[in-house]
């Protein structure tokens, strides 16, 4: 197995740069290819190497397929990248439908992303340090090479997303030393460890496979360069959050009772606002960290954490087998198809697949001004605030699109009927007209608690698929 080459990997794959609390993302068009390449060749990119003194600033670069073309990479080479990256996030109506980019989320309504930008430049600095970093950029020939299509400023990172919940609690731990087994027969339970190949191209993934190289044509007599190696796909989505709408709806259904309002909000997320899981830590998961040492195997029906809660949809944690399967005997019975099905939920068994093949490394930041719950309960305009959702993965379809489509957006997730993610879901009806604007939380006794008429709280404002190349690959691209 190749050792992970941190010096050739952009830092964002390993660090969230959380210490650098100020950040801005720039969406760029290549205005003059020669000048753009020259700038990229000398851009002080942050690598994934650990440094004794952590840097005061960080810079990361990612490119779309059009960006590669604009920088002079031949079509023969670009076409070796996977199809979803080439098609782009907003490039096909069928993809938009699958991702839930319909209705208000339709790319036709986006503020950016159509056409896709060429380059994403991510700037990070300590609080107050961003202007100096921008000024440094401007001192170089940056302005000649690129036109800034859009600036995406973020708020000062404090680890709380705009609805008011602590964010960034559950992150997979990358097994950089590649010592944790990925063997299906030896991984019987849920683990929070992830093979580097789930994040970076060029390393074995959870299937023990390595993604194909993307070989760039070389000059005669030279070895072809693998543009994929040490790179990751980067998904960026600007998700507007209607914070007033969220808290005012909950306040209404809670009869203006603050405790009840908070309880319903936590049932939607699956965590309390301070980040504690509805299911407290009670297991010792490999790679599990405080606040994250739990699975749903003791709560198969979702009596404690509803099956449809955001964090349960985003990572059902059932390991390699569905909820309720634990131990070798149960695993064998499940594998052979003898597992008993639960009443009324025939087929549920297959609906939640092994979560380790669908993990995401999240690197997003919130944007816009903050609003406390008390402020959100007062009337006022729906200002622009939300999350610049960023995730890194090695396979856009198997990871980001699967989570977004089959888990968050699906109205039939894990045997549920006609409801989507209560937090992020579009509320468009199903093709047969069934409404999807409700949310149900089972109760130990009696009928499930059911919230009706859920407004849509999150709207997509823009998005694109990028490739964050390794340092050598970027040098090749910049010298092409
Ligand atoms: C505005 C939109 C969103 C909001 C407000 C939001 C909020 C949250 C919150 C509060 C948590 C719990 C804290 C944590 O575990 O880090 C969380 C977890 C998570 N979210 Fe989101 N999220 C949003 C969009 C998305 C999207 C679009 C995806 C994926 C396509 C996603 C994937 C995840 C994942 C994978 C987790 C961790 C689940 C776990 O491992 O337990 N989120 N989110």
Reading the chain (480 residues) residue by residue, the pLDDT tens digits are 889 999 999 999 999 999 999 999 999 999 999 999 999 999 999 999 998 888 899 999 999 999 999 999 999 999 999 999 999 999 999 999 999 999 999 999 999 999 999 999 999 999 999 999 999 988 888 999 999 999 999 999 899 999 999 999 999 999 999 999 988 778 878 899 999 999 999 999 999 999 999 999 877 778 889 999 999 999 999 999 999 999 999 999 999 999 999 999 999 999 999 999 999 999 999 999 999 999 998 998 899 999 999 999 999 997 445 545 555 555 555 555 454 444 344 344 444 458 999 999 999 999 999 999 999 999 999 899 999 999 999 999 999 999 999 999 999 898 888 899 999 999 999 999 999 999 998 877 777 789 999 999 999 999 999 999 999 999 999 995
Residue 392 falls inside a structural domain: no
Which residue of 104, 158, 167 sits with most ligand 1 atoms within 8 Å of its CB, as the best mutation to test the pocket? 167
Does any domain span residue 398?
no
| Bond preceding residue 291 cis, omega within 30 of 0 | no
Q: Is the CB of 424 under 6 A from ligand 1?
A: yes
Beta carbon of 318 within 6 Å of any ligand 1 atom: no
Domain assignment of residue 391, yes or no: no
* Residue 261 shares a structural domain with residue 201: no
390 CB under 6 A from ligand 1?
no
Instruction: Check whether residue 47 and residue 70 sit in a common domain.
Output: yes
CA angle 309, 315, 320 (to 5 degrees): 130
Exposure b/e, 445-471, CB count within 10 A at least 16 = b: eeeeeebeebebbbbbbbbbbbbbbbb
Same domain, 223 and 144: yes
The verdict on 53 and 104 lying in the same domain is yes
Where would I find the beta strands (DSSP E) of 207-333?
Answer: 215-216, 225-226, 232-241
- Residues 228 and 259 grouped into a single domain: no
Q: 267 is in which domain, residue-wise?
A: 239-360+367-386+407-462
**Closest atom of ligand 1 to CA, residue 360:** 35
CB hemisphere CA count around 359 (13 angstroms): 27
Q: Does the C-beta of 359 come closer than 6 Å to ligand 1?
A: no
Looking at ligand 1, which residue's alpha carbon is closest to its atom 13?
167
Cα 292 to Cα 321: distance, rounded to the nearest angstrom: 19
Same domain, 287 and 216: no
Quote the pLDDT of residue 332: 53
Do both 435 and 473 map to the same domain?
A: no
The predicted structure's pLDDT at residue 344: 40
* Whether 145 and 61 share a structural domain: yes
- Cβ–ligand 1 contact at 241 (below 6 Å): yes
The pLDDT of residue 308 is 95
Does some domain include residue 140? yes
Any atom of ligand 1 within 6 Å of the Cβ of 302: no
Give me the pLDDT at residue 242, please.
98
Q: Are residues 327 and 375 in the same domain?
A: yes
401 located within any domain: no
Total of domains in the chain: 2
With respect to residue 1, please indicate whether it lies within any of the assigned structural domains.
no
Is 248 inside a domain boundary?
Answer: yes
Instruction: Output the pLDDT for position 424.
Output: 97
Q: Are 48 and 11 in contact (CB under 8 A)?
A: yes
Instruction: Return the residue whose CA atom lies nearest to atom 19 of ligand 1.
Output: 311
Closest CA to 311 of 282, 326, 325, 291: 291
Q: Does residue 14 lie within any of the structural domains?
A: yes
Q: Judge if 228 and 311 occupy the same domain.
A: no
Host H or E run for residue 259: helix 258-269
Identify the pLDDT of residue 1.
Answer: 85
Q: Say whether both 319 and 263 belong to one domain.
A: yes
According to the model, what pLDDT value does residue 351 have?
41
Q: What pLDDT, on the 0 to 100 scale, is given for residue 343?
A: 37
* 420 CB near ligand 1 (under 6 Å): no
With a 6 Å cutoff on the Cβ, whether 165 touches ligand 1 is yes
**Which residue, by CA, sits nearest to atom 8 of ligand 1?**
167
Q: Are residues 205 and 252 in the same domain?
A: no
Look at ligand 1, atom 16, and give the residue with the nearest C-alpha.
168
What local confidence, expressed as pLDDT, does residue 326 receive? 52
Mutate which of 157, 283, 311, 317 to test ligand 1's pocket (most atoms within 8 Å of Cβ)? Answer: 311
């Amino acid at each position: 197995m190749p050792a992970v080459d941190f010096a050739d990997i952009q830092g964002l794959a390993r660090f969230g740069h959380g210490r650098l609390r100020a950040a801005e993302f720039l969406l760029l068009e290549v205005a003059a290819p020669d000048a753009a390449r020259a700038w990229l060749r000398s851009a002080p990119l942050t690598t994934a190497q650990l440094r004794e003194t952590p840097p005061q600033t960080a810079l990361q670069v990612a490119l779309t397929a059009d960006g590669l073309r604009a920088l002079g990479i031949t079509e023969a080479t670009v076409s070796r990248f996977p199809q979803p990256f080439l098609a782009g996030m907003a490039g096909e109506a069928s993809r938009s439908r699958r991702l839930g980019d319909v209705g208000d989320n339709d790319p036709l309504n986006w503020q950016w992303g159509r056409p896709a930008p060429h380059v994403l430049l991510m700037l990070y600095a300590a609080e107050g340090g961003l202007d100096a970093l921008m000024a440094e950029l401007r001192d170089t020939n940056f302005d000649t090479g690129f036109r800034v299509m859009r600036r995406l400023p973020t708020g000062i990172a404090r680890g709380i997303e705009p609805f008011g919940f602590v964010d960034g609690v559950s992150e997979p731990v990358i097994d950089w030393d590649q010592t944790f087994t990925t063997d299906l027969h030896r991984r019987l339970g849920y683990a929070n460890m992830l093979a580097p190949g789930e994040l970076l191209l060029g390393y074995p993934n959870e299937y023990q496979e390595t993604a194909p190289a993307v070989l760039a044509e070389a000059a005669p007599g030279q070895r072809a360069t693998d543009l994929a190696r040490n790179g990751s796909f980067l998904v960026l989505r600007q998700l507007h959050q209607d914070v007033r709408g969220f808290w005012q709806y909950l306040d209404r259904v809670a009869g203006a009772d603050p405790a009840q309002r908070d309880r319903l909000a936590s049932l939607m997320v699956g965590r309390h606002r301070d980040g504690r899981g509805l299911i407290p830590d009670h297991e010792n998961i490999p790679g599990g960290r405080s606040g994250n040492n739990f699975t749903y195997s003791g709560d198969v029906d979702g009596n404690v954490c509803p099956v449809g809660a955001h964090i349960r949809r985003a990572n059902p944690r059932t390991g390699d087998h569905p909820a309720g399967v634990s131990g070798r005997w149960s695993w064998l019975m499940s594998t052979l198809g003898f597992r008993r099905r639960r009443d009324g939920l025939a087929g549920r068994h297959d609906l939640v697949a092994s979560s380790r093949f669908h993990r995401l490394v999240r690197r997003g930041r919130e944007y816009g001004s903050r609003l406390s719950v008390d402020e959100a309960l007062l009337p006022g305009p729906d200002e622009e605030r939300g999350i610049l959702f960023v995730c890194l993965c090695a396979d856009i379809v198997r990871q980001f699109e699967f989570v977004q489509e089959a888990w968050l957006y699906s109205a039939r997730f894990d045997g549920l009927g006609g409801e989507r993610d209560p937090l992020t879901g579009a509320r468009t009806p199903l093709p047969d007209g069934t409404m999807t604007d409700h949310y149900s939380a089972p109760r130990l006794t009696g009928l499930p608690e059911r919230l009706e008429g859920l407004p849509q709280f999150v709207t997509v404002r823009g998005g694109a698929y990028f490739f964050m190349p390794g340092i050598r690959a970027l040098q090749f691209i910049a010298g092409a």
